[in-house]
Structure 1
């Protein structure tokens, strides 16, 4: 049902489950107690609750709580055609200036003036077109799981700070320098100041402060798919384990020391500054700051810098790793992971040379696959890579999700503290200045890596990413196995084999522009194949597409 009111607000109501709500109404116990007391005073006898209810029913008195049906969605359209639509919890979608019309009324108490908090202040967390769409679909259970209890009322208890960029007075500026200093001001709005993050072209380039982002609403990119496969895989894996060869479960080492959880971050209020390296052309620099609990971030102001400097040809830097055997007793040997890495190395060096001016591969195989060696490879690339370059990280090994973290198992797996923490690896690679980055993980439970990435790049990140791209190609959903290929003539893991096949096929060039891009590859990986009964890849494409090879 749709209703309209004099304030130009349109409300959308879901009446499909009204009978269920009526059936589940709560007893108005306060009213029942009141009637019970009155009856006992008049009759001088004690009444049971059932007698009171019978009495109320005979006298046509409703003993249920009044039924409240909140609207599914609210829509406001201004006279100049700006619009905003929002859920009761505060999640919204809007035109460019639509959110300027909505404020939250914050009561300060009887002796204080109420505050009007603009919706823009909560933009980073509550601008969620995906959640608005989910709410409108009527799947209330999925919507409530996705928001995980966080609404605007809870967010305003610890509101995010306000960020103002001070360096440049206009929205655009020109420079002939390859670096620029950006100064900005952080104002505490009584929610404290947590992590401060700086983005260039939508890619995170710097974080100020220590702590972890604790976003309380899920990302819809993989949320619904993950929910379905979680249920399905519990049944199918038991059947398929007998005939297929999973990469296997790995026992958590007793000596593994978990991460120290930081409950809050204390950054200072006032002036801050950062130096940002520029690429030729436009550079959009944006800054956000979280509240002290790192649950809600500020509106993200930005500035555009036009750099009139030399334009560099893009190069590719890759880390390719695979390991079959491990020195830990509790880690099962793999058959094809080193084959996987070798095949990806060859494909990278041959096919991607058709796109990039130079291709540099750091190749780690067998005993060389260690946390230290991967970190050294990342550090070496960081010294050479430029903003225009692309980074590829590929690994085939065991994967294990433990205590909310995702670990890749290295050759030296005896000591759990030598395991490769993907969260730390992701942060290290993100610190490389290159704006285009691709992560490919062929490992069990690799879908857990998507949860880690989503703390940085949420469902709306592609709207903000201008000329940067961060892409995740993960073998399977969290909590499930990645399999080695069941055909004994194919010496690869299922996921890697599908990548190799897609790169060989001209049909992967979906738009027919004579290039295969990472988004086209991702589309092919998501297509139903003979393996989808037991292995579902998790794909996240944020921002700009990246070309991988030229199709002859």
Structure 2
């Protein structure tokens, strides 16, 4: 297994390969006998170099005069600009030759005489593009590089097993016979090797972490599944079952590994938050009750306290440390004289440890208080490779352990006296205190369990599960990426937890938390029921800011584009979760699952049920590359693949322009009549959703206007818009539960652009026929937003081209709003922009979102006074504009709890995706609405501030405020102000379709 320490070597240039003899009989050649890497910009500045030149010494033989941290600048008279230059220099030398080295040792410049070492060499090594020669009798398989990947893998007619290896990786060579045996047994499968050091683009694309060897199975150009640490043939055999025709296993899986592997997890006490840290030094704060990512901290070097409550973050120059109280969101700053390589922080945040080079080139571990006071400096022997230095605080904060080569030291944090020194053999790969703080786990040394008195024993291995000081809990690897939970107070083999695709590195429990958390090299954090071994959810954050939380049933919460990293597999067929978005994007179900509530009553459709009726295949017929015509004929074909044909949706530039389905209203009017608006709290909504399940199970989705059979073909005249036109086509299966992948076609319209017009329809309702639900600021919000945006829009539109419609109070009944939409539908053109602003009551009932209009008299009669999300879809289709923004600043009379918030998120997101447009949506309580903020509703206040302060909104200095940038500004402003007011409120900003300018910044 290549662990966390060895995984770092992916980025090193290894000058002295001790592994050469594994492959071939060797001849003698000269070598420096050390490991070097490029010099970073930050370290070059730290030691006074003009730029990142030279070769940084990572490790070196004890003799020779070099130290880790030295930078080789010259060999004899030859300048060394990069590590590769060292290889060129020694080509003319023999082992034993003396060379003169000019080195930078901190800020000093030193010249030393160095004797070259001897190393094995051969002209027949393992090189990309050549066959990888196995030990005698085992045969060979080809290796490929990036330029051949598409041809050899993605376009292969056969399934492909891609074997990711590195020349420095001993297990990669050890397990090659497994792959050869697979090749002999499965002639229909192609096997290729990919060198991770030579194909970094492929490695990054498919999320291969430092756990090698790894295997990815491809079929039909798509990734089917992967396994990291291929140590058993059975692991590859399981992979191959997923492409067999008789395979009917259905699995929901995120694109694991596209993030970095997880190194730490912990539950913050009394907070509802789970913290995790990955190998890229990023710290994630998760709301484990809601199933959502709360916050992210990025740093070049970082550390989490054992209890997850505090973080230490090095700045970009690696000389200063931010100390973060995560729950309180408070920070302090420590200025150091070290170039920081590693960090640790105590569970109380009162001591911070940093290891790194001083400006004299020597290494030390320094301890500071958060107020920048140096407590102690511990020198580190120069013979230590920096990778060997490990240190940690105990969970109770009373002890500090430091591991270096052949030595383990314990310090008492009360006075920082050294209490115990223990002689060890070798260096620990990882250093962890046991959860009871009484001993250290030190994988990598023979006797890997050492107590505070220095007594050494051979433990069972594993990783500490933090959070239980009364029991020594451990996660123990089973060797197949599953693990078992062990305790010093329980015997037996422990319960098996299976699901991770790579080894588990960290575990956590909490006093008031019912779940076990695990963090793995597959990039996921998973929550489990420790009593049964059942997985509750996966939490996965990607390097691009997107994230997913998903239940085993397939229901998920995600960032705006997080679902793009989620797939569903049945046998050899892989579907994108985007095809199931309407049904399975359900933050409310994720939240219910994490509360431990049964979700069967909320589930209208399972993945297994949905995928049994696959979506149809769709195809757009030929379109011209360019046209000057005002209209173009678009023809398309939809063909059943076994699940029939349901609703067909056609999009232009991302916006829905045609669909042939309508949506049934499922609620009983008799039942509705018995409810009051203020009764629709989270509990009522929850029970209502459960009562809906049975009816939706019988006939989910849209009702299609006409039956289509197994093949459906249609043509229509579509109005073009000047510039690029992108046509998108998607179709559902007959039950309208699974959508096809989107088919797209593009053409360029050379027609002249019409003068753009802006249409704004603003609705604000304070006074209702039922006066008991009257609001205070909604009408003013509509007036203010309309006036301010219209004024700003003059920077783009002529004043005569800005058209305003305002509906207030008694003039904002349902019929009034729908009449206004009908009028606008006859006026608005494709190239115009349309904005709908609504400030009023809103409600959630039986999977629908409703606007409560001014004609509401206390009776929940939808036909008279409520506008449903289905009707909003129809409004959008009628209005031809391809650039539409809908803003809902609504008050939920029953309050906004976790259930309401999660379902609100789900319904609004599906609504935006369905229409292919942008939605700003904020749901607050009546109390918040009546309080307002500086004369407006809070969310509208944030929007108005964004309109006033365009320069602050335009952070990328584009010269304009756009739909997306205003949304981001309003969301952050609302969240910040609402937290200070004690009524946390985070608006949703949902963007489908193209971004567009609202006004120019002048």
Give the TM interval when normalised to the shorter protein: 0.5 to 0.7
Aligned: 1:71 with 2:501: yes
For residues 377 and 335 of structure 1, do their structure 2 counterparts lie closer, same or farther at Cα, with a shift above 3 Å needed? Answer: same
- Among candidates 633, 637, 642, match of residue 181 of structure 1: 633
Corresponding residue for 1:372? Answer: 815
Q: Please state how far the C-alpha of 1:486 moved relative to its aligned partner.
A: 5.0
Given the alignment of the two structures, is residue 483 of structure 1 paired with residue 929 of structure 2, yes or no?
A: yes
Of 696, 721, 733 in structure 2, the residue corresponding to residue 291 of structure 1 is: 733
1:198 maps to which of 622, 632, 650:
650
TM-score, reference length from structure 1: 0.65
Q: How does 1:533-552 map to 2 (within 5 A)?
A: 533-534=982-983, 535-552=985-1002
Q: Secondary structure at the match of 1:295?
A: coil
Query: Does the Cα contact within 8 Å between 2:908 and 2:921 map onto a contact in 1?
Result: no
Change in 2 beyond 3 A, CA 1:324/1:157: same
Deviation at 1:424, TM superposition (A): 3.3
Distance in 1 (CA, whole Å) between partners of 2:554 and 2:769 is: 52
Aligned to 1:271: 713
- What is the alpha-carbon distance in structure 2 between the residues aligned to residue 523 and residue 424 of structure 1? 26
For residues 417-496 of structure 1, the aligned pairs below 5 Å read 417=862, 418-431=864-877, 432-445=879-892, 450-455=905-910, 457-458=912-913, 470-476=917-923, 482-485=928-931, 490-496=934-940
- The structure 1 residue matched to 2:785, chosen from 334, 338, 344, is 344
Task: Evaluate the alpha carbon distance shift between residue 366 and residue 433 of structure 1 in structure 2; reply closer, same or farther with a 3 A threshold.
Answer: same
CA shift digits 1:377-433 (9 cap, x unpaired): 111111111111111111211122222222222221124232232413421332112
Deviation at 1:310, TM superposition (A): 2.2
Report if aligned partners of 2:777, 2:929 keep a CA contact under 8 Å in 1: no
CA distance in 2, matches of 1:151, 1:251: 30
Distance 1:369 1:19, change over 3 A: farther
Which runs of no fewer than 5 residues in structure 1 stay unpaired?
26-56, 76-85, 92-98, 107-115, 132-139, 215-247, 253-257, 462-467
1:307 aligned to 2:753?
Answer: no
- TM-aligned CA deviation for residue 184 of structure 1: 1.7
CA change 1:204–1:213 in 2 (3 A) is: farther
- For 1:321, the equivalent position in structure 2 comes to 763
For residues 435-473 of structure 1, give each alpha carbon's deviation from its aligned partner in whole angstroms, at most 9, with x where no partner exists. Answer: 111111221249666533433555xx9xxxxxx972222
Q: Conserved in 2, the CA contact under 8 Å of 1:323 and 1:338? A: yes
CA distance, structure 1, for counterparts of residue 650 and residue 665 of structure 2: 14
Counterparts of 2:216 and 2:978 in 1: how far apart (Å)? 56
- State whether residues 391 and 438 of structure 1, in contact with CA within 8 Å, keep that contact through their aligned partners in structure 2: yes
Q: Is the 8 A contact 2:831 2:881 kept in 1?
A: yes
Give CA-to-partner distance per residue, 1:82-130, whole Å, 9 cap, x none: xxxx999999xxxxxxx9xx99675xxxxxxxxx64x3x65742799xx
SS of 1:530's partner is helix
Q: CA deviation at 1:319?
A: 0.6
Distance apart, 1:11 and its partner CA? 2.2
Secondary structure at 2:977's aligned position in 1?
A: coil
Select between 354-363 and 6-15 the one with higher mean Cα deviation. Answer: 6-15
Gaps of 5+ in 2: 1-210, 219-224, 230-261, 263-461, 466-474, 503-520, 524-547, 556-563, 586-592, 667-675, 681-690, 893-899
Displacement after TM superposition at 1:375 (Å): 0.9
CA contact (8 A) 2:216 2:226 kept: no
Shift of 1:524: 1.7
Is residue 338–residue 365 contact of structure 1 (8 Å, CA) maintained in 2?
A: yes
TM-superposed CA distance for 1:512, in Å, is: 2.7
Secondary structure at the residue paired with 2:805?
strand
- For residues 25-76 of structure 1, the C-alpha deviation after alignment (integer angstroms, 9 at most, x for no partner) is 9xxxxxxxxxxxxxxxxxxxxxxxxxxxxxxx9xx9x8x997744526999x
Separation in 2 of the partners of 1:314 and 1:274?
A: 25
Paired residue secondary structure (1:310): coil
Of residues 176-185 and 16-25 in structure 1, the stretch that sits farther from structure 2 once superposed is: 16-25
CA distance in 1, matches of 2:728, 2:606: 25
How many Å separate the matches in 2 of 1:494 and 1:66?
49
SS in 2 for 1:302: strand
Aligned residues of 1:450 and 1:540 also touching (Cα < 8 A): no
CA contact (8 A) 1:314 1:389 kept: yes
Q: Residue 773 of structure 2 aligns with which residue? A: 332
Asked if 1 retains the 8 angstrom alpha-carbon contact of 2:580 and 2:737, the reply is no
Report SS of the residue matched to 2:810. Answer: helix
Secondary structure at the counterpart of residue 759 of structure 2: strand
Contact 1:378 1:428 in 2 (8 A): no
Bigger Rg, which one: 2
> Does 2:966 correspond to 1:525?
no
Report the secondary structure of 2:923's partner residue: coil
Distance change in 2, residues 1:153/1:2 (3 Å): farther
1:512 aligned residue (957, 964, 987) = 957
SS at match of 1:531: helix
Map 1:205-244 → 2, pairs under 5 A:
205-211=657-663
State the SS of the aligned residue for 1:192. Answer: coil
Q: Is the 8 A contact 1:326 1:411 kept in 2?
A: yes
Q: 1:498 Cα shift? A: 1.8
* Aligned partner of residue 305 in structure 1, secondary structure: strand
Provide the aligned length of Structure 1 versus Structure 2: 423
2: distance between equivalents of 1:396 and 1:501?
17
What are the Cα deviations for residues 333-370 of structure 1, in whole angstroms up to 9, with x where unaligned? 22222211111121132111222231101111121011
Counterpart secondary structure, 1:378? helix
Q: TM-score, normalised by structure 2?
A: 0.38
Q: More displaced, 263-272 or 200-209?
A: 263-272
Contact 2:869 2:911 in 1 (8 A): no
CA contact (8 A) 1:159 1:190 kept: yes
Q: In the alignment, which residue of structure 2 is the partner of 1:498? A: 942
Conserved? CA contact 1:406–1:449, under 8 Å: yes
Q: Following the alignment from structure 2 to structure 1, what is the Cα–Cα distance between the partners of residues 905 and 735?
A: 22
**Structure 2 match to 1:137:** none
Q: RMSD between aligned alpha carbons?
A: 4.4
- Is the Cα contact below 8 Å between 1:321 and 1:395 reproduced in 2? yes
Matches of 2:978 and 2:830 in 1, distance apart? 38
1:163-174 aligned at under 5 Å gives the runs 163-166=618-621, 168=622, 172-174=624-626
* Cα offset, 1:482, TM superposition: 4.7
Contact 1:288 1:301 in 2 (8 A): yes
8 A contact 1:123–1:299 mirrored in 2: no
Q: Secondary structure at the match of 2:965?
A: helix
Greater per-residue helix proportion? 1
The CA distance in 2 between the partners of 1:326 and 1:213, in whole Å, is 24
